[in-house]
Amino acid sequence: MADVESPVQVGFAEFMARLMSEVFDSVITSQIDQEQRYAEMLASAALTEEAYASQQISDSDVAGEVSGLFPPRPEDKDKPSAIYSGSPYFPDKKNQIESPSLLAVLGIKLNKEDLMAEGEELFLTQGAVDAVSGHVRIKMAEIHLGLVKQIISRGLPRVVVDSGRINGKLTFHLTESTQNQALESETRETVAPGMEAKVGSMAKASVLSASGKSIFTLPKARILPNVKLMVKQADDTSPQSSQVKANVYGEVEITFKTIT
């Protein structure tokens, strides 16, 4: 049976600190990702068409392009395109148009080595298929590389988070000093030896991870120091929701601004 996730109860101060910390992490991660993509585009723009084709154009992309340029004919049956080893080839003659039309579409003129004959009929060899795929790959690389260079010459846009707003529905209730003392006791157990006196004197409130270790601490409130405001995600589907006794059911709105 899958584990059922339930809302977690945490101090309001710790909740706000953790929320803003994760907002900061998401903004920084987005900026790093944009810079990495910018660097990748600059590196791609410096490549030759052949190098770009081998690094950036996949076989599946080439197969899709070949299928679009040379769609299957009635005689190709279930093949994805008209270009495959053994495909019937009809050269350009007085009363006959080339099919597949390699010269008109790609500028490719096949040699005798690219064709195999059975009586008067001609068929494409694997060498011809590879030649067509290679020309298509280079042609795609030429187009893509031109677009990359054009975008860089105009200047790459960057998405910057300058402001935002977070809304969340929570249940609020107050706890007395007994739970505060328990939190302080857990905090003392997670700090290094020699720090117990300092933690005890400052009376820190701690956010605990799933393993029970302290993530960070916040100073205890000076107003009503023995009373702590606790919050919990509002979720009526939680198995424990019927047991929650909340003093207030409301909504928190946080407006933030990015300063660089």
pLDDT score of 229: 72
Task: Pick the last residue of a domain from 154, 182, 210.
Answer: 154
* Region 92-101 average pLDDT: 88
Point out which residues pair with 207 in neighbouring strands: 216
User: Cβ distance 141 to 107 under 8 Å?
Assistant: no
Task: Pick the last residue of a domain from 131, 154, 177.
Answer: 154
Q: Domain of 84? A: 49-154
Judge whether 4 lies within some domain: no
Same domain, 134 and 170: no
When divided into structural domains, the chain yields a total of 2
pTM greater than 0.85: no
Task: Pick the last residue of a domain from 154, 172, 191.
Answer: 154
Give Cβ neighbours of residue 259 (< 8 Å, ≥ 6 apart).
none
* Region 73-98 average pLDDT: 89
Same domain, 93 and 131: yes
Same domain, 55 and 30: no
User: Cβ distance 163 to 255 under 8 Å?
Assistant: yes
For 23-58, how does the pLDDT look when each residue is reduced to its tens digit (9 = 90+)? 888 888 988 998 998 899 999 999 999 999 999 999
Same domain, 32 and 91: no
Judge whether 244 lies within some domain: yes
Neighbours of 53 (CB within 10 A): 21
Judge whether 3 lies within some domain: no
User: How far is it, in rounded angstroms, from Cα 178 to Cα 180?
Assistant: 5
pLDDT of 174 > 90? The answer is no
pLDDT of 144 > 80? The answer is yes
* Region 113-129 average pLDDT: 92
Same domain, 53 and 144: yes
Over the chain, what is the mean pLDDT?
77
Same domain, 138 and 197: no
